[in-house]
Amino acid sequence: MGRGRRAPFAIAAFALSHRLKVILAFLVVYSVWGSTYLAIRVGVRDLPPALFAGVRFVVAGLLILAFARLRGRPIPTNPAHLWPLAVVGFLLLVTGNGFVVYAEQYIDSGLAALIVATVPFLMVGTEALLPSGERIGRRALAGLLVGFAGLALLVSPKLAAGASQDTRGVVALLLACLSWTIGSLYSKRRGVPVPALVATGIEMLAGGAVLVAIGLAAGDPARARWTSDAVLALAYLTVFGAALGFTAYIWLLDHVPPSRVSTYAYVNPVVALVLGWALLGEVLTPRILVSAGVILLGVVLVTTARDRTPAP
């Protein structure tokens, strides 16, 4: 009888513990990933973008691989497994995140987050163009049209202004979104039998090494100013944004339905806009606020439509 009475309590305690883990993981993905745009904006004031991003991902990749090894995950040595991961690391981190870091020299952190929020639109549109890709349903198509309308409303004044610094930032962000889309689809189709945490660490290490090499070739160390703000931004992005953030995201994918995990796509831009306005004094004009609402509506339509697509 004693054991029978303790069993419900044990089950309840386990459920509470799991629920708490889910809540904490969502808080990390929402708040930390949303704040990375602000940290990047602070860091690029003193550190050249390639070196800044490269050091972050090399250190984060090593931390993740060390954690995975402690958890008993094997580290692959087969080139057939390593090569696809290196390609994904290049597309997601070198030309993907690298262009984001470059762009934030010229673009406010909140605007950068809003433009990056259009990645789900590119994912759905590109997927539909592939021979074996998912077709676009009415809900997703409506989301695409709404989202791109919001993007056009947001960036059209900057693009119309000509070859300004802002325009270079916008173009870099659009290239970043395209590279992230291609890398994500390549990763989906060229999957390798490697644990997700290990794959993430290898991708970060490979992409970070390329970024560091680019920075060294461009003479970044001579131009870097290791101020306290720059060091804090780099440390935050490395430990929290990369290592902790990706670990929480991967854990959520294993324990929570994808429809709930995908909500980060429309929470992160809101967090970035609020933090940029509150801490960096970034301006929130009526055009930006309306554009944000339209883009996020499109993201909601697209992500919920994809979640409802039946598996083949």
What is the per-residue pLDDT across 25-75, written as a single tens digit (0 to 9) for each? 889 999 999 999 999 999 999 999 999 999 999 999 999 999 999 988 889
In this predicted structure, what is the pLDDT of residue 264?
84
Question: Smallest Cα–Cα separation from 34: which of 289, 287, 263?
Answer: 263
Q: Which residue has the higher pLDDT, 205 or 71?
A: 205
Residue 163 zone, left/alpha/beta (φ > 0; ψ -120 to 50; rest): beta
Q: Which residue has the higher pLDDT, 168 or 208?
A: 208
Give me the helix-helix angle, 33-43 and 109-116, nearest 10°: 130
What is the per-residue pLDDT across 235-277, written as a single tens digit (0 to 9) for each? 999 999 998 988 888 888 878 876 677 778 888 899 999 999 9
What is the per-residue pLDDT across 142-193, written as a single tens digit (0 to 9) for each? 888 888 888 888 877 665 554 455 788 989 999 999 999 898 888 877 778 8
CA-to-CA dists, residue 311 to 124, 166, 168, 306, angstroms: 15, 42, 40, 10
